[in-house]
Amino acid sequence: MLLFTILAVLVLGIMCFLMIIMRMHIKRFAYNVTQDYRYDCLPQHFVARLEGGVIKLPQEVDINDTVLAAVSVETSLLGKWLLPYIKIETRKGIWKHYIEFGGRGVRYLNFSDMFDAESREISLWGRRVLLKNQEVRLTVYPRMSLDDKKILVLAPHADDAELAAYGLYEKYAANAMVVTVTASEAGRFHYENLFCKQCPTETKEQYLEKGRMRVWNSLTVPLLAGVSSENILQLGFFDTTLKTLYNHPEREIPSAKLETADVGIFRRANKSVISEGLHGGSNWHDLVDNMAYVIESFRPDVIVTPSPNIDVHTDHQCTTIAAVEALRKLNYTNGSLFLYTVHYLTDDYPLGNVGAALSLPPFFSEEDSSDMLYFHSIYSHPVDKKTQNHKLLALDAMNDIRPNARNYMDWKYVLRKGLSLLYHDITSIHVDLVNRFVRSNEFFYVVPVSDVHNQETYQKIISRGGKNHLH
């Protein structure tokens, strides 16, 4: 009888634990996972048929196009407990597209670079996902050639260029320039094992050393991809201050951690001859002027920069606003903006593990979605396994985000971190940027640079998104 009671208690305890986890899964999303993703601005170019788990793409779709497919999905009961996904299989390989726990409705699968000219059949296998026979709407964007194009990658912080576009700038390294806007010295107290957190002098010293390390990261990691040292630049502005600069353009804004407004303390680490033309202090006008100087010096055809519409980090938003103001100041009309997001409206995006496919994030708009997310087309850049490994190693060289980056000598932190990793491994929902952005492709929203000179489209480009955009 005692044994039966113990077993009953254990079973009840396990059931309660699983119910709690399931409830956490349902509650943790910042939006209703049972509604369709709505991108009313997406054109419908073709309609294909999903029959028996197989889609055959029309012959008119080129193998180099960016191809997005609107597919209706419904997760199974088990899909409320274990993260569901769709396995995409073709002659070229196998990919995964993850769905939310309990997700239901239209989701956009990315078929770019998954098929060849000989076979356009794509097999979809639902893992804890039901895929009914249905018509599938296809949005197809011809992919522009970037051969011989000059690519300027703007990173608000050290590691943003790598997270968003390492594969892109490695492929075109001979014609790429990577510019990091801030020294990235703020954020969490990083080296508790080296500096006393309660000692004001050591606290300041810790943030100075953290900034020096991240500046060094920003100037050296692009070398791994083959970018010339002459085309790697650190502007030296202060972390978390760009919104304040934007709101008070005449003021000199000091570092939030170092009690100085001297951007030269980080700028002097530059080795490029181009850095000799950097000037001014920690204010908005000088940020825009330095952006204009970089653009005029490099003359890019493509500017890779965050989307203010869907990247909620204010440093990311203001980096692009400064770049757009610089383009307007120069009357520069050449090329395209490739907009990206690292800090999406919800931190759950993208779901899943390293190597999964990256596609359109959750977005819901009952009105014209171009008023909330402005772009002309989408560019999906393929990242093969070898390049994914290069990207992982590049990110591992970034002090701030490598796995053992913080408090590695503190047993309490290690225990807490271990339990957190166990939970996220079980649920396949990762909070670390490495798992979330080392994928089989990189994803960009394309806007012609000429649009920044039209007042209406300019306002759409710089419109700053927030978490309320999901509702």
pLDDT 10s digits, 30-58: 889 999 999 988 999 999 999 999 999 99
Q: Which residue type, as a one-letter code, is found at position 177?
A: M
The fold of the 151-343+384-438 domain, in CATH, is Rossmann fold (3.40.50)
For 294-327, what is each residue's pLDDT tens digit? 999 999 999 999 999 999 999 999 999 999 999 9
The fold of the 46-141 domain, in CATH, is Jelly Rolls (2.60.120)
The answer to whether residue 371 scores a pLDDT higher than 90 is no
User: Please, is 453 exposed, middle or buried when counting C-beta atoms within 10 Å of its C-beta (0-12, 13-18, 19+)?
Assistant: middle
The full set of domain ranges for the chain reads: 46-141, 151-343+384-438
Per-residue tokens: 237: 């502005």
Per-residue tokens: 446: 């394309």
Cite the DSSP H helix spans in 248-313.
264-267, 284-298
Of residues 325, 317, 324, 289, the one with CA closest to residue 303: 324
The answer to whether residue 79 scores a pLDDT higher than 60 is yes
Q: Which residue type, as a one-letter code, is found at position 359?
A: S
Confidence of residue 201 (pLDDT cuts 50, 70, 90): confident
In the chain, the percentage of residues whose pLDDT exceeds 90 is 74
Q: 88 near 441, Cβ under 8 Å?
A: no
Q: What is the mean pLDDT of residues 133-152?
A: 97
The answer to whether residue 10 scores a pLDDT higher than 60 is yes
Predicted TM-score (pTM) of this structure: 0.90
Q: What is the pLDDT of residue 175?
A: 98
Q: What is the pLDDT of residue 420?
A: 57
CA 270 to chain CA centroid, Å, is 26
Q: What is the pLDDT of residue 105?
A: 97
Confidence of residue 367 (pLDDT cuts 50, 70, 90): low
Cα–Cα distance measured from residue 29 to residue 101, given in angstroms and rounded to the nearest whole number: 9
